[in-house]
Amino acid sequence: HLNIDDKSILEIGAGLGLPGRTLAAQQQQGGTPRKVVLTDNDEAVIAASQTLDVFTTSAAAEANKPATLESRQLEWRDCPPNTEGKALDQEVFDIILGADVAYYFFLLRPLMDAVQHYMAYSDATCLIVGQANRESQWDLYHNIKQGCYNPRTDLHDAPWPGQTSVLLYNLYSTEWVEESSAAPAT
């Protein structure tokens, strides 16, 4: 159970942000978040997401669950590596959420840098959900839990502080079988 009461939440690689919108609009067992920021790199997706922000915010207000909701563009490769701590004026988040974001190995380092850049110190929670059949999901998990080589600093990063969860699921594809209600021919 994830406590979201009065927390700031960043969804990375959000697309239209279904997980983040769900947290912003509905009171969960863990409470109501203070702020939810949805991010993606695609400008057209952000424009569509900003249109949806109005509806999600209205639904939350009607239900007396006011959470600030905002959609922004974020390019992971623009986030600096976290080598010298946080600036006092840097925006940080209590919970960072990513759904199916680790799909290309070459983006794992920028993804990790972006998450660490926005993490609220050691008490933050990072939750990554993805398909177990993608090798890059497992690479991300091991890099976070065990630490990894950082080519930007030429050093081995320590394991991440705080709570990190990686939920991996399996999708199986089977042949489509159509059921028929017609009686068999005799």
Q: Is residue 10's pLDDT more than 90? A: yes
Can you state the angle between helices 135-146 and 108-118, rounded to 10 degrees?
40
Point out which residues pair with 8 in neighbouring strands.
Answer: 35
| Residue pLDDT, tens place only, 11-70 | 999 999 988 888 887 655 557 888 999 999 999 999 999 888 777 666 556 656 667 889
Strand partners, 129: 99, 167
Question: pLDDT tens-digit profile of 125-181?
Answer: 888 887 767 777 778 777 777 877 777 777 888 877 666 666 666 655 566 666 655
In terms of pTM, does the model score above 0.85? no
**pLDDT tens-digit series, residues 56-70:** 666 556 656 667 889
Strand partners, 156: 149
- The DSSP string of 77-117 is GGSPP-SS---TT---BSEEEEES----GGGHHHHHHHHHH
Give me the phi and psi of 184, to 5 degrees please: -65, 145
- Give CA separation, 32 vs 1, 14, 66, 73, 168, in Å: 14, 19, 8, 24, 26
